[in-house]
Amino acid sequence: MEQIVFIERDTFHAEFRRPGFDHEWIEYGETERGQIVERLRDATIAICNKLPLREPDLSLLPKLKLIAVAATGVDNIDLSYCQSHGIAVCNARNYARHSLPEHVLMLILALRRNLIAYTKDVRDGKWQTAKQFCLLNHPIHDLHGSRLGIIGYGSLGKAVAALCESIGMQVLVAERKHATPTRTERTEFSEVLRLSDVLTLHCPLTDETRNLIDKEELQIMKREAILINTARGGLVREEALVEALQAGIIGGAAFDVLSEEPPQHGNILLEQDLPNLIVTPHIAWSSREAMQTLADQVIDNIEAFIRGDQRNLINTIR
């Protein structure tokens, strides 16, 4: 009989049906790193979200056969150890194909139309004392006819592209940084930085993509361009971003992810009081509809694994 242990149940507002095979189901609302080994000691299948599962803990879990990640990103899993020790890893895919692009569009609109600055003006009484019927303290730009640069053209990047094209934006898909030659229907990386009015990130966090956007890249961007990151903290060097915003090197930024989550030790982006900086708490993926789709997919993945199917597996176990 399989023992399935869900170690981060409280990260979801969704119903998880029980798999259709003989099993014991154990769930914990939240789990501290020091509790991982104790709670997974007899588990054959672990369900996790963002909790790191690294070699020091995995080496003490000889019964573990499958890690079902209830997310797309698997940078919290020691994939090398899992591969060499016969632990399968699967993830969830495409569940946020509506939720995340809609969140991206919301952030783009808020920045391009200076929503934060204007709502603050109203709260501060500036409209109430204006000499005209409207208050025009901050520039407003249409999205129609502007350029959207996309870095990371998987399912989410493509969904963002489709949504933004539907309102008249021109989409540029970036080639990988430093890659040559540039593939058909892609645009060289630095050229996308130079041409885009809006730059949005949809790539995973790897050694190759860490600090993908740093001081040099921000200098290439248009002075009125905005940067959106709903992918992973760590793709952008946060200190360089703050300097760029303060110096007017770029027009604005909106982040749904930070380098440490939750930011228990503070974060430089949270210390700013800038109308052209928006930070949301990693919620772009989390519409109720998306969460239920994810929950159903996690169980589908587990059932497929037990049947011997290669469904959404990150590694191949022989």
Q: Per-residue pLDDT tens for 18-43?
A: 999 999 999 999 999 999 999 999 99
The residue behind tokens 């361009």 is 225
Q: What is the pLDDT of residue 173?
A: 98
Q: What is the pLDDT of residue 166?
A: 98
- Please tell me the CATH superfamily of domain 99-279, with its number: NAD(P)-binding Rossmann-like Domain (3.40.50.720)
> What per-residue confidence (pLDDT) applies to 82?
97
- Please report the pLDDT score of residue 270 as a whole number: 97
Please check the confidence at residue 296 and state whether its pLDDT lies above 70: yes
Above 90 in pLDDT, residue 83? yes
Mean pLDDT of 279-283: 97
Instruction: Check pLDDT > 90 for residue 73.
Output: no
* Per-residue confidence (pLDDT) for residue 310, from 0 to 100: 87
pLDDT tens digit sequence for 103-146: 999 999 999 999 999 999 999 999 999 999 999 999 999 999 99
The conformational region for residue 312 under phi > 0 = left, psi -120 to 50 = alpha, else beta, is left
One-letter amino acid identity for 195? L
Query: Would you name the residues annotated as active-site residues?
Result: 232, 261, 282
Cα 161 from chain centre: 16
Kindly state the percentage of the chain with pLDDT values over 70.
100
Q: Mean pLDDT throughout 278-303? A: 97
Q: What is the mean pLDDT of the chain?
A: 96
Whether 160 contacts 102, CB under 8 Å: no
Task: pLDDT band for 316, please (50, 70, 90 cuts).
Answer: confident
**Buried-state track 32-64, b at ≥16 Cβ within 10 A, e below 16:** eeeebeebbeebbbbbbbebebeeebbeebeeb
Using CA atoms, how far apart are residues 109 and 26, in angstroms rounded to an integer?
Answer: 43
Which of the four pLDDT bands, split at 50, 70 and 90, describes residue 289?
Answer: very high
| Structure-token match 């783009």, residue found | 108
Task: Check if CATH label 3.40.50.720 holds for domain 2-93+289-307.
Answer: yes
User: Which tokens belong to 236?
Assistant: 């952008």
> Does pLDDT of 318 surpass 70?
no
Give the list of residues 6+ apart from residue 73 with CB closer than 8 angstroms, or none: 91, 204, 205, 232
pLDDT at 317: 74
All CATH 3.40.50.720 domain ranges of the chain, comma separated, are 2-93+289-307, 99-279
- How many angstroms separate the CA atoms of 287 and 201, rounded? 20
Q: Is the pLDDT of residue 302 over 90?
A: yes
Per-residue pLDDT at 62 exceeds 70: yes
Residue 174 pLDDT greater than 70, yes or no:
yes
Residues 193-250 have pLDDT tens digits of 999 999 999 998 999 999 999 999 999 999 999 999 999 999 999 999 999 999 999 9
